[in-house]
A and B are shown apart, each in its own frame.
Chain A
Amino acid sequence: MAETARPIVIRVNGTERSLGVERSRSLLSVLRTELGLTGTKYGCGSGECGACTVLLQGQPVRACTTPVSHAEGRSVTTIEGLVREGQLHPVQQAFLEVQAFHCGYCTPGMIMEAVALLRKNPNPTELTIREEMAGHLCRCGTYGRVIRAIQSAAAKMRK
């Protein structure tokens, strides 16, 4: 169903997408429903859990509270866009090596935030990681492992 006369153009994971969607719809809904990018998760719809985190121009945002119009003419990276030439991003690799997940539902949002964190601060302290990641909830309680995974990725990325 065409929603608007003027499509919104967004660069998603490196590919330009022209989307005929209502401007007020959430970026999360558009990514999941229109583009089939289901790696970005719904957790709360109000920016409290972090499960929907994506990168907008490299900055982490909560896709559930971001109107799709905010992404117009900009680039969005989702978890599906992190793999380059078949290679996992070092943060993905570290999550895998540390097994920093139980059910895996919060994992994509955590990884996106961690990627942004390490770009900004390649050598964060444990306290910084806790503070920067505090908006991400994991009900399974894997926080300790996520901290270890981010530290491990940071060490590898500094080399």
Chain B
Amino acid sequence: MKPRGADDSSKDECGGSGLTRREFLQAAGGVVVLFSIARPLEAGGGGSAPPTAVGDINAWLRIGQDGRITVFAPTPEVGQGLRTELAQLAAEELSAPLSSVDVILGDTDRVPADAGVSASSALSTIGAKVRQAAAEAREMVASMAAERWGVPRAGVVIEDGRAVLASDPETFVGLGELAGGRRLVRRLERPAPLKPAAEHTLVGRPAPAIDGPAYVRGKARFAGDVRLPDLTYAKVLRAPCLGAKLVRAETGVAAAQPGVIAVVQEDDFVGVVAVRPDLAERALRSIQATWEEGEHASIGSLYQDLRQSAELEQEIAVRGDVETALAGARQGYSASYRTPFAAHAPIEPHAAVASPQGERIVVYVGTERPFGHRTAVAEALGMPPEKVRVIVPAVGGAFGGKDGPDVAVDAARLARAVGRPVLLSQSRVEEMSWNYFRPAAVIDVRCGVTEKGEIAAWDADVFNCGSRGAEPPYAFPNQRVRVYRCNSPLPQGPWRGLGGSANAFAREVHLDYVASELGEDPVAVRLRHLRGDAGMERVVRAAAERYGWHDRRPPTGLGAGFACAADDGSCAAVVADVEVERASGQVRVRRVLVVQDGGLVVNPDNLRSQIEGAVVMGLGLALREAVRYEQGRILTGSFASYPVPTFREAPSVEIVVLPDPASPPRGGATATLCAIAPAVANALFDAVGKRLRELPLASVRLRAGT
């Protein structure tokens, strides 16, 4: 049997005929592992274990009578390779073939609750639990086999999906047979021993993506691909600008159009349900709506708007006395850095199918937060959460942008209104306009340098983008980071690395600036101040060495820039080589070197692939991407107006991963993502001597004389 992938991971729920998780777990014998402890395991992170009530819903792993291993985990696969990596971790601890593992993700009836784990950090949090559950299951079946054969536990070897009698390898039993048809439940009290990394045969090696065959055959089912009997199609009415209030909507003409099933109006919400998507769109266009427009934000005053509305939220990373150190410094260096709103721009726009089933409702939706969606749908519909089932099928990119439940909620209320399954999918312009964005940021940095050229004081004011990545990795003796909350003119929310990219941009460009003012090498300045952060020092040294930083002699028009950042427990150092065409100011990033540390690397090829992707995305943010808006209207509602990177811009990428098999697996490549823009900005300074402090680093500003 092939492992379950994106094409069929929820087929048995289609039309509501399938087993619920509880039924599934109770139906058959086998070994079930639950977590019942209140404290997190290993890198379990922030109290994510369920507090008290423990039922089958908390099961993370099951070995069926047929020997198949099923992993249940909350966080969906969004392209980060989670499904395959969890299968690797489980198979490894159970010494079972990778092909014997099924991974069920993101189905609120079948998986444990997520406690808000983000998709990018899922491997470190969720991965640790799956590993632990698998280790526990291994010890359970080993003990049962030992009992059966009357030998101590040490007399049993678990290998190739079987328990084998060590003294007589001809005596063995399949893992699924040991429960003998009984249903054995183990609640994890104490962590079972994990297999030492030196004995790993699956973890630490590439494995083919479980979802790969479905992707290349066009069989992967995304939310908009869900087809149910009697499916209808919906569109919702959009305001002319952000913040507008609906005064009146004339929907009679729309309701009378052919193929229209219903026009649903609830307060500001108006949705059309029709038998075909084009008919829903046509009917929507015939609605005459009157809106009261609110305040009109425009991008021209963005950074001013942020500063003027700022309220101090917290002071972090405080060390020494920064004011006194700044006053006593031989030389001070101050500058301000700006980063715009960014769109997630996944190629798959938000979509959801909601299907009323008796007193329940099932919602198929592409999101990173199935349980958050369940809560939101339940609240919107006034239903208890257990009456709502959220199933996450394949997700066509998310990047933090599919946390918001609007599409799921709208689909659900329309489905309830018409009593039929409803597919609601956003157009590209809706995707780019009616979503939240990566927060824009202003960051002011002041620093003071001593007679000896030491940075003795570092003072940063961070507006609007939050504290993520704001604490410098450097050992400045006096430092302070003040984080300000602002009134954002646009809705904002999670985005890969969130404020980490803005904070890294400000810090790493400023450090480069100080180094150049001091006439020093920027890598040497970093290393001198990195005392105490061994992880960051390791990647910085490795990157400088691999690149040959100290011997570099870039020709005219070419430049190299260095930056480092930490996120999700990983450190990354990046060197970017850029070329600037003098006449046009055209910037081309030719090559990027990344050194990232990785903890226990579960799937090295996938990690490399994630890093490659982060480089490309980081270049978009560095060079061209910015959400523009005037009078409350988003002007970047298309790929033409919001230029994400293309085949033409993808640079040559060299990646060095420094693994640390003794530490737990970590998240993806957001550390790399955060380091790209500052590396490119620093490389542009190296190439043309112009210090750019605002993203995106649009080429026009590099032309001679500007």
Of the listed residues A39, A129, A141, the one surrounded by the most CB atoms of chain B closer than 10 A to its CB is A141
User: How many residues of chain B are within 8 Å of chain A by beta carbon?
Assistant: 65
B428 and A43 within 8 A (CB)? yes
Residues in A whose Cβ lies below 8 Å from that of B397: 102-103, 105, 139-140
Q: How far is the CB of A139 from chain B (nearest CB, A)?
A: 5
Which residues of B sit under 8 angstroms from A79, Cβ to Cβ? Answer: 217-218
Tell which of A82, A131, A138 has the most Cβ of chain B within 10 Å. Answer: A138
Residues of the A chain whose Cβ atoms lie less than 8 Å from the Cβ of B638: 44, 46, 48
**Interface flag for A49 (CB, 8 Å):** yes
Does any Cβ of A come within 8 Å of B484's Cβ? no
Query: Is B218 within 8 A of A137, CB to CB?
Result: no
Residues from 182 to 233 in B contacting A, C-beta threshold 8 Å: 208-209, 211-222, 224-225, 227, 233
Q: Determine whether the beta carbon of A130 is less than 8 Å from that of B78.
A: no
Q: Known interface pairs A1-B258, A130-B648, A143-B650. Does A102 touch B213 (Cβ–Cβ under 8 Å)?
A: no
User: How far, in angstroms, from A131 to B427 measured CA to CA in the complex?
Assistant: 27
Stretch at the interface among B26-34, B300-308, B452-460, B639-647: B639-647
B84 shortest CB reach to chain A, Å: 10
Whether A96 lies near B216 (C-beta < 8 A) is yes
Q: How far is the CA of A106 from the CA of B615 in the complex (A)?
A: 18
Separation of A107 and B394 alpha carbons in the complex (Å): 13
B630 at the A/B interface (Cβ < 8 Å)?
A: no
Taken together as a complex, chains A and B put the C-alpha atoms of A42 and B257 apart, in Å, by: 25
B277 within 8 A of A: yes
- B347 A138 Cβ-Cβ under 8 A: yes
- Cβ of B648 and Cβ of A88 under 8 Å apart? no
Q: Is B81 touching A39 in the complex (CB atoms < 8 A)?
A: no
CA distance A33 to B226 in the complex (A): 11
B275-305 vs A, Cβ < 8 Å mask (1 yes, 0 no)? 1111000000000000000000000000000
**A145 partner, pick from B6, B395, B609, beta carbons under 8 A:** B609
Q: Which residues 110-159 in A have Cβ within 8 Å of B in the complex?
A: 111, 129-131, 133-134, 136-147
Say how far B670's CB is from chain A's closest CB, in angstroms: 13
B647 touches A130 (CB 8 A): yes
Q: Which residues of chain A have C-beta atoms less than 8 A from B344's C-beta?
A: 139
- In the complex, what residues of B have CB within 8 A of residue A39's CB? 217-219
Contact B216 A141 (CB under 8 A): no
Task: Say whether B215 contacts A142, CB under 8 Å.
Answer: no
Closest to B221 in A: A38
Partner of B216, one of A25, A88, A143: A88
CA distance A146 to B647 in the complex (A): 9
**A130 vs B685: C-alpha distance when bound (angstroms):** 28
Q: Which of A18-62 contact B (CB under 8 A)?
A: 22, 25, 29, 32-33, 36-46, 48-49, 51
Minimum distance in angstroms from A105 CB to a CB of chain B: 3
Interfacial chain A residues near B613, Cβ < 8 Å: 102, 140-142
CB pair A78 B615 closer than 8 Å:
no
CB pair B348–A45 under 8 Å, yes or no, is no
CA distance A70 to B641 in the complex (A): 28
B347 and A106 contact, CB distance less than 8 A: yes
Chain A CB within 8 A of B605 CB = yes
Nearest neighbor of A50 in chain B, beta-carbon distance:
B347
Asked if residues A49 and B639 are in contact (CB atoms below 8 Å), the reply is: yes
Nearest chain A CB to B495 CB, angstrom units: 12
A152 to B277: give the CA distance in the assembly, Å.
Answer: 39
Q: Hey, which chain A residues are within 8 Å of B221, CB to CB?
A: 38
Q: Does B349 contact A (CB under 8 A)?
A: yes
Contact of A134 (CB < 8 Å), options: B81, B605, B648:
B648
Q: Which of A88, A105, A129 has the most CB of B within 10 A?
A: A105
When each residue 584-628 of chain B gets 1 if its CB lies under 8 Å from chain A and 0 otherwise, what string results?
A: 000000000000000000000110011011111100000000000
The answer, yes or no, to whether B399 is at the interface (CB within 8 Å) is yes
Assembled-state Cα–Cα distance A106/B345 (Å) = 13
Which of A1, A107, A134, A137 meets B644, CB within 8 Å? Answer: A137
Q: A48-B640, A138-B347 are in contact. Are A102 and B225 (CB under 8 A)?
A: no
Q: Does B346 contact A (CB under 8 A)?
A: yes
What is the CA–CA distance of A138 and B640 in the complex, to the nearest angstrom?
A: 14
> Residues of B with Cβ closer than 8 Å to A?
6, 78-81, 208-209, 211-222, 224-225, 227, 233, 258-259, 275-278, 344-349, 394-399, 425, 427-428, 605-606, 609-610, 612-617, 638-640, 644-648, 650, 652-653
